[in-house]
Amino acid sequence: MSQLPLLWIIPALPLAAVLLNLLIGDRLGKRGTAWLSCGAVWLAFLATVRAVVLLAARPVDDRVVTEVAYHWMKVGDFSADVAFLLDPLSSVMALVVTGVGFLIHVYSVGYMAHDASFRRFFLYLNLFMFSMLTLVLADNFLLMFVGWEGVGLCSYLLIGFWYTRPSASEAGKKAFIVNRIGDFGFLLGMFTLFAWGGSLQFDRVFAIAPHVFAAGGTIITAATLLLFLGATGKSAQIPLYTWLPDAMEGPTPVSALIHAATMVTAGVYMVARCHTLFQMAPISMEVVAVIGAATGLLAATIAVAQTDIKRVLAYSTVSQLGIMFFACGVGAFASGIFHLVTHAFFKALLFLGAGSVIHALSDEQDLRKMGGLSSRLPWTHGTMLVATLAIAGMPPFAGFFSKDEILDHVFTSGHYFVWIAGMLGAAFTAFYMFRLYVLAFRGPSRLTHDAEHHLHESPPSMIIPLVVLAVLSAVGGWIGLPFQHGGHLLERWLAPVFAPDPVASALGETAHAAVEHAENVSLEIALMALSVAIAAVGIAFAFRAYLQKPDLATRLQQRLAFLHRVWLNKYWVDELYDRIVVSPIHRASERLWQFWDVKVVDGAVNGVAYVFEGASAVLRLAQTGFVGTYALFIAVGAAALVLHFLRAVPRPVREDDDLVVREVRNRIDGCRP
């Protein structure tokens, strides 16, 4: 290859922006900081595009570029490099991260314009971009873990960005601690792979895996399940999803970038990256599918009852991530990544739109105090409508193609329960999203007088990213138009990564596919029609319950009081965790503190202090402060020394010794023992 793709420069650009911001940020002012941060991400995007173009120019079976920036450590056989890997999978991720990331950076300039900590915000945001790109472009597990922890740190910093609000710093801590549990799983998974596979480099581990692991064996199952535990932490799946809704305490662009479009998809990316391993462990695949489906449905139902606009979207994110996971769980990795991409577009748009609404209403987030905003915020309204249609799965918007493809794969792979959960989830999604839409933008205004007074459409720096994302949400799904020979554009692009293993493809592909294709098309159309119909029902119901007959919603709420309470209180999962995990740990820590810290550790430290205090009380008596006393000590000491040496070395008697010398000698000999 004549031209190097220069992969290292992609994460290096945001890092450079971080350092510059640290060094001279205070002299740049807000404008300068904004230009610096957005510029760095824009250049990173261009560098990514260039690298991807170079990658695409290569022959299909050679679309892997690795680049070693430097050798990090080398111990015996083990080596870990800061090495970057660009293949179709990481290229898609890098494009999404830099592209959506850039738009959100631009949006943040407008959104955070009045914040006192403007510079700190962009510092964290750039640091996040650096970590995320490291995670995505890493060519080994260790470097991926570095990025993985880095995004976790940035997530914590940005959730607790307004750290003077106790709820924000609590939420930051919660996110960090819950993620730690997942990270621990990831680490253990990594150790397992290293112990048996002998390497942490992706290509080596994947190449060696079929030789050292028995397919479906205990070790590979354990390793993949541990890795998946890491994914459930980062990507907010059962049982570790509880941090994500609380993460909404952060500024809204952060929710869009980190807690919707990019960071939370890291788990999906990791599972897709390790698909070779997961496919060797059918039990793990099954677990991934079931967890994904359960989370998808659970979160969708909770979203129905929430009244905070951002919390609805947060649960929606959890639910959509569940969809991606069950796509991976049934082996449709390409579809999972497809949904990841479209979701990044429309969910980022939804959050940014919500941010625009919150901004316009002077920080009002309660859906019950909105309404009738469509004419007042025309741009926000239009773009939000596109995103809502996209997530609800209405053709021809992006979400329709990806979600439908996944449900189709799930159905044909025979996971009917997962499919039913997915369909139900889709219906709920359509319903709660249009509930949000109707409550915010349609119907009578329920604004407070104050909010009404300050109501204003957002500045262009916020509107332009919305429009770009709306276009992407509308047409982004077309990279995956169904019914194409040999799979759609994205599928073909990802094919080298997710190539089925040679044995299966030799049997299948040619003979199999031709026969099945004909059956599939009619089935696929039927499924498609069904899911559109279900989404339409959800939408219609939302309009009916919240716009045409507002009392219907109240009546339903009373009729289904129990269900409403369960959903409003999020199945009491937080309370459950608090009861069985948090409180016992608190109590145990309290005990340990009382015994170990107070008695043993403090006791040892204070004990040493007491000993010295006592000893010095005695020794202090010698320190009179009179020079004379000290001089006496010196004189006595000197005399003692003289005496000692005289006694120790007896001098032989000489003939010429005179009387005095003899007398002194006799005296000294008298003292000698």
Residues near other proteins (CB under 8 A): 625-628, 631-632, 635, 658-661, 664
Judge whether 432 and 304 are in contact, CB under 8 Å. yes
Output 502 or 625, the one with its CB closest to other proteins: 625
Output 177 or 664, the one with its CB closest to other proteins: 664
d(CA 423, CA 427): 6
201, β-bridge pairs: 140
Residue 661 beta carbon to other proteins: minimum distance, rounded to whole angstroms: 5
Output 363 or 655, the one with its CB closest to other proteins: 655
Judge whether 133 and 7 are in contact, CB under 8 Å. no
* Token pair recorded at residue 587: 């109590």
Output 216 or 650, the one with its CB closest to other proteins: 650
Residue 623 beta carbon to other proteins: minimum distance, rounded to whole angstroms: 9
Residue 613 beta carbon to other proteins: minimum distance, rounded to whole angstroms: 16
Output 366 or 663, the one with its CB closest to other proteins: 663
**Residue of 12, 5, 84 whose CA lies nearest to 41:** 12
* Token pair recorded at residue 363: 């920080």
For tokens 């570029």, the residue is 65
Judge whether 93 and 135 are in contact, CB under 8 Å. no
Q: For residue 70, which phi and psi values (nearest 5 degrees)?
A: -160, 160
Residue 161 beta carbon to other proteins: minimum distance, rounded to whole angstroms: 51
Output 588 or 635, the one with its CB closest to other proteins: 635
Residue 670 beta carbon to other proteins: minimum distance, rounded to whole angstroms: 18
Q: Exposed e or buried b for every residue in 338-368, given b needs 16+ CB within 10 A?
A: bbbbbbbbbbbbbbbbbbbbbbbbeebbebe
Residue 625 beta carbon to other proteins: minimum distance, rounded to whole angstroms: 4
Residue 658 beta carbon to other proteins: minimum distance, rounded to whole angstroms: 4
Residue 651 beta carbon to other proteins: minimum distance, rounded to whole angstroms: 13
Output 282 or 650, the one with its CB closest to other proteins: 650
For tokens 């290569």, the residue is 58
Output 414 or 628, the one with its CB closest to other proteins: 628
Residue 648 beta carbon to other proteins: minimum distance, rounded to whole angstroms: 19
**Residue of 193, 76, 87 whose CA lies nearest to 142:** 193
Output the CA torsion sign for 423, 425, 428, 432.
negative
Output 583 or 616, the one with its CB closest to other proteins: 616
For tokens 């290229």, the residue is 91
d(CA 540, CA 551): 16
- Rg of the chain in Å (alpha carbons): 34
85, β-bridge pairs: 66
d(CA 418, CA 329): 10
